Structure 1
C-alpha cells in the first residue's frame, strides 16, 4: 500500500514557485522537455524522488558533516545512468522507496534518462524542496509546450465547476473517460476520499503519468490504458466526466464494435456526426439510472445542422439536464469557446445557462474563481437574465439548437409580422474562397467583375471602390449578387445590412461571410426591410436569432424563421423612399467631405 501524500501543505505553495519550476526545466533542457508531452513531468518526478532519498539519508546521518556527505552521495547515486535501458530502470529504482517506484509504468524511460535531463533533475532537487516539487506534480502546468496539449489537459476551472455540478458522494463510482493525465481525477479523488475513481485513456504516455500522479496523491484510483470506445464492457458509474478531443467527426474515430452497434441502435448518427455526440452517447451507456454526467464540448456541435437529428435524439430522450455556455480562453492552448453539457435521465425540461462572462479575465487564460463556480451552480436553480428553463417543445421549434444564447434573448414583438422565409425567393451564402485562389483572381486593372467583403460595407452602404477581378468562373455565378439583393453579414456584432445596386453589365462576387437574399419584391421592398433591420427593434430581432456568445452567428434556418413586418406595400414604399432620400443625402455629404479633405492637403503648398 502506497502512503498517500497529504496535499494540504502543497496546496498552499505559491503558484509562482510552480511556474518557476516549469520555467527552470525549460531553461535547463533548452526547451527540449517541452517538445514531448510528459518529459517535464518525469524530470520533476525524478527530482522529487531524489529529494525523498536525500531526506532519508540526511535523517539517518549522525552529524552535520556526515549529512552533507550523505546528501552528495544520495544525489549522485540517485541520478547515475547506465548503458542499457534495463540497467537504467534498475538504477533509478533507487531514487525513491520501492513502493513509490512500483507506480512507474512498465514503459521504459529511455528518453527521460538522457544526460541533460538527469542533470536537470539533479539541479531541481538542489533548488526546490520536496513539497515544492510535489506541488508541481499536483498542479502540472503545461504552458509553453511546443505541441498542442488541449487533448490531454483539463483546466482546473473546468474541473472545479464539473465537481460542483456532479456533487460526488461517499461510495460512488466515478469515471473520467479520455482522462488524459488525470487533471480532473487528481482533484476529484483528493476531495472525495471515500468514492472510487476510474480513468481511461488511449495514450500510454498519459496513463503512465496518471498512474504516477494518482499514486502520489490518491489511493482510490484505477487507471487503464485503452480506447474508451472499446472494451469498457458493462462498467457502470454514478458520475462521469469527459473532456474529449475537439473538432472530430464520427468518420475520424476507429471503427469499434461499440460504434457498429451505435449505427444500428441510433439511426440518427451518420459518419459526419460530430464525435462530441458519440462520446456523449458513450457516457449515457455507462451511466447508472440515477447518475449524472458532465462533458465539455465544442459550441458548433450544439447548433450545427449536421448534428440536428442527433440532438433531437438526446432532447426527446430526456437525456439533457442542462447546457452551460462557457467563457472563451479557459484552455491553455486554445481560445475556442466551449459548452458544458450536463446529462442525466428522465428530463422533461432543459436548463439553459449563459456563463460566458462569468470568469476572471487573464492575459493568456481566463479562469473561474470560487465565487464564479458558486454563482454558475446557483444559476442551475434560479431564473434570471443568464438562466432559463426551456420546454422540449421550444427546443424543437428552434431546430434542437442547444446554444443557451438562443433562449436567453428578450422576445421582440413585431407588428404585422410574418416569417422572413415567406418573402424570400432565394438565400445563399457567398463564395468561400482560399486566399491563394482569390489572389490569383484579383485584377489591378478595372474590369466588369468585382469582389465584395464585409469590410466593404460601411454605415449600411457598399463601397464604390470594390476590388476588381480578372473574371468570375461560371461555377461561381450562384454566389454573385443581383440588383436589389439584400445582404446580411453572417457573424459578428453588429450585423451589417446593405441593399446591392448592381448595373446590368457588372458582376459582383460575394464573400462567404455574407448572406445573399433575393426578395419577392411584389411583397416586400428591399429598402423598407433594410430600414427595419437597422432600426432599434430590427437589431433586437436579428439578435434574437443569434447563436454563440463569443462569435455571434446567424444560420439560414433561423434567418428564414425570423419575424419581419409586412405592412401594405404602399406604406413600405413610403418608408423606403424616405430612407433612400436620407441615404442619398449622406452620399452627397460624403463627397463634400472627401473634397474638403483633398483641399486640406493642398493648403500648405498653395499658401
Structure 2
C-alpha cells in the first residue's frame, strides 16, 4: 500500500480554490484559509489510502470550527490509525512540540492508538557554529540541548504500532466512541493512564538555581516598547504574565531572607508612552537564539531588497545613457 509521508509548512495561510466544496479532496470539509494544516491532510488522503503527517500539536485540539468538523469526520470515518505525541525541542530551529498522525483508510480495527513518545525521550547536546555576524561569532561553537528518540525508543513505538496494547504512561488503545465523548480531542495524554510515582521534591537550593537559569534565558533580551504598540500586537497578556512572574520572585525573595537564596526578579519588559520599540541584548557570552533568527531574517530581506534595488538602478542607468548619448 503506497504511503504519503509529509512534514508540511506549519500553520500556513492559503487561499480557497474556486468551487472548493465540489472538489473530492474537500468532501469532509474545507479547511480555513488561516491555516492549511488540514488541507495538506485531506489532499494526501484523496490520493493515497495511507498517510503519515508530522504536524504541530495544535491540530490535535483545535478550536477552529471548520477544523473541528474535519477532525471529527476523519475520526468517524475511521481514517485515523494512531497519534504519537513527540517531545518538544526535537528540532534545532524550533522548540515547538509536534505529533505524528497516521492515517489509514483501510485499517482493520475501529480503534485509535494513542502513544506518548515524550516519555521515551532523552536529552542530547549538539554543537553549532554561528551562521551570521563577525568572524568571532561564526567561528564560535554553540551548544544546544535537544530531545531525541533513541533507536530503542523508536523500536518500542514501532512494536506498539504493530501490536497495539495499553501501557501505563506510554500507550492506550481508544475507541471512536471514547474520543467522541472527549469532543474529538486527539491529545494522547488525554487518554493514557499516567504512572503513579512518589513525588520527591528537589532541594530549594537546586530549584532556585534552576529558576535563575530559566530567568537568565528569558532575560537574555530586554524589550522597551510603546504601550499602544504592545497592545496592538497582542503582547499585553504576555507582558502581564511576565510582570506577575517578577512580582512573585520579589515576594519569594522577602520570604527567603536569612536563607541565602535570591531569585532573579529583573524586569524583562518596559512599557512606555513614547514612540519607542527597542530590543536590548543582555546576554553576550552566548548570543540568544531569537537574535540569531532575527539576523538571518534581516539578512535575507536585505539581500532581496538589494537585488531589487540594483535592478532598478541598472534600468535607471540605461535610461540616463539613452538620454545623454542620443
2:308 corresponds in structure 1 to none
**Deviation of the 1:285 alpha carbon:** 1.1
Q: How does 1:178-189 map to 2 (within 5 A)?
A: none
Contact 1:324 1:341 (C-alpha < 8 Å) held by counterparts: yes
User: Are 2:31 and 1:269 equivalent residues in the alignment?
Assistant: yes
More strand by percentage: 2
Cα distance in structure 1, aligned partners of 2:89 and 2:270: 38
Query: What CA deviation, in whole Å up to 9, does each residue of 1:350-404 have, x standing for no partner?
Result: 1111001323422244433321210111233221121001122222232221111
Out of 316, 322, 329, the residue aligned to residue 82 of structure 2 is 322
Report the CA distance shift for 1:339/1:264 in structure 2 as closer, same or farther (over 3 A): closer
Report the CA distance shift for 1:435/1:378 in structure 2 as closer, same or farther (over 3 A): farther
Contact 2:56 2:98 (C-alpha < 8 Å) held by counterparts: yes
1:240 corresponds in structure 2 to 4
**Deviation of the 1:440 alpha carbon:** 7.8
Report the CA distance shift for 1:282/1:469 in structure 2 as closer, same or farther (over 3 A): closer
Cα distance in structure 2, aligned partners of 1:366 and 1:400: 28
Cα distance in structure 1, aligned partners of 2:30 and 2:175: 22
2:55 corresponds in structure 1 to 297
Structure 1 residue ranges without an equivalent (≥5): 1-171, 173-237, 413-433, 442-449, 472-607
Structure 2 residue ranges without an equivalent (≥5): 126-143, 197-222, 231-238, 255-264, 274-326
Report the CA distance shift for 1:469/1:358 in structure 2 as closer, same or farther (over 3 A): closer
1:567 corresponds in structure 2 to none
User: Are 2:165 and 1:382 equivalent residues in the alignment?
Assistant: yes
Q: How does 1:427-466 map to 2 (within 5 A)?
A: 436-438=225-227, 453-456=243-246, 458=248
Cα distance in structure 1, aligned partners of 2:111 and 2:151: 28
After TM superposition, the score normalised by the length of structure 1 is 0.29
Report the CA distance shift for 1:333/1:411 in structure 2 as closer, same or farther (over 3 A): closer
Cα distance in structure 1, aligned partners of 2:240 and 2:92: 38
User: Are 2:120 and 1:358 equivalent residues in the alignment?
Assistant: yes
Out of 188, 191, 195, the residue aligned to residue 404 of structure 1 is 188
Cα distance in structure 1, aligned partners of 2:95 and 2:224: 23
Cα distance in structure 2, aligned partners of 1:317 and 1:267: 13
3-state secondary structure, aligned to 1:278: helix
Q: How does 1:38-77 map to 2 (within 5 A)?
A: none
3-state secondary structure, aligned to 1:362: strand
Cα distance in structure 2, aligned partners of 1:410 and 1:367: 21
Query: What CA deviation, in whole Å up to 9, does each residue of 1:562-597 have, x standing for no partner?
Result: xxxxxxxxxxxxxxxxxxxxxxxxxxxxxxxxxxxx
Report the CA distance shift for 1:309/1:454 in structure 2 as closer, same or farther (over 3 A): farther
Contact 1:263 1:269 (C-alpha < 8 Å) held by counterparts: no
Cα distance in structure 2, aligned partners of 1:342 and 1:369: 20
Contact 2:224 2:272 (C-alpha < 8 Å) held by counterparts: no
3-state secondary structure, aligned to 2:54: strand
Cα distance in structure 1, aligned partners of 2:123 and 2:111: 32
1:309 corresponds in structure 2 to 69
**Deviation of the 1:321 alpha carbon:** 0.6
3-state secondary structure, aligned to 1:266: coil
2:44 corresponds in structure 1 to 283
**Deviation of the 1:451 alpha carbon:** 5.6
Contact 1:451 1:469 (C-alpha < 8 Å) held by counterparts: no
Cα distance in structure 2, aligned partners of 1:437 and 1:409: 47
Out of 103, 111, 127, the residue aligned to residue 349 of structure 1 is 111
Equivalent pairs, count:
200
Contact 2:51 2:104 (C-alpha < 8 Å) held by counterparts: yes
Cα distance in structure 2, aligned partners of 1:440 and 1:295: 37
2:100 corresponds in structure 1 to 340
3-state secondary structure, aligned to 2:88: coil
Contact 2:44 2:51 (C-alpha < 8 Å) held by counterparts: yes
Report the CA distance shift for 1:457/1:411 in structure 2 as closer, same or farther (over 3 A): farther
Higher-Rg member (1/2): 1
Q: How does 1:147-296 map to 2 (within 5 A)?
A: 238-249=2-13, 252-253=14-15, 255=17, 261=23, 265-267=27-29, 269-272=31-34, 274-288=35-49, 292-296=50-54
Query: What CA deviation, in whole Å up to 9, does each residue of 1:248-301 have, x standing for no partner?
Result: 14xx257377786269633463333x312111111211124xxx3211111111
CA RMSD of aligned residues (A): 4.1
Report the CA distance shift for 1:439/1:282 in structure 2 as closer, same or farther (over 3 A): closer
Contact 1:269 1:309 (C-alpha < 8 Å) held by counterparts: no
**Deviation of the 1:343 alpha carbon:** 0.4
3-state secondary structure, aligned to 2:8: coil
Cα distance in structure 2, aligned partners of 1:358 and 1:411: 13
1:92 corresponds in structure 2 to none
